[in-house]
Amino acid sequence: MLNALQAMQPGGRLDIGITAEDKDAVITIADTGAGISSQMLPHIFDPFFTTKNDGTGLGLSLSYAIVKEHQGDIEVESEEGSGTTFRIKLPQAPEEGA
């Protein structure tokens, strides 16, 4: 969410959603910001990869590690100049007694 805010100009739009998909909970974080170029996209989850003057490059690498620890996954779709959508998939807990 912070990345989304940092990628947008005033008037941008941040959409956050959560839905159930098969056995997963899917959290969506979508912005109308700068987007990520196809050259950068393969690197955004690398530790210390940042395009910001004051960035640490740790946000996404740590988020990815935490989500993986929970048997989840993060997907990203981005278009330069129009925005970025992150989808965090987490397995739902099995139903009680199942």
Ligand X SMILES: Nc1ncnc2c1ncn2[C@@H]1O[C@H](COP(=O)(O)OP(=O)(O)O)[C@@H](O)[C@H]1O
Q: Which residue is nearest to Mg ion (CB)?
A: 59
> Under rule CB under 5 A, which residues in 4-33 are in contact with Mg ion?
none
Binding site for ligand X (CB under 6 A): 3-4, 7, 31, 33-34, 36, 40, 44, 49-52, 55-61, 84
With contact defined as beta carbons under 8 Å apart, do 34 and 77 qualify?
Answer: no
Q: Is 57 left (phi over 0), alpha (psi -120 to 50) or beta?
A: left
3-state helix, strand, coil in the chain (%, to 5): 20, 35, 45
Q: Name the phi and psi angles at 94, rounded to 5.
A: -60, 150
Question: Least distance in Å: CB of 71 to ligand X?
Answer: 21
Residue 3 sits in the site that holds Mg ion (CB under 5 A): yes
Question: Least distance in Å: CB of 58 to ligand X?
Answer: 6
List interacting residues with Mg ion (CB under 5 A): 3, 59
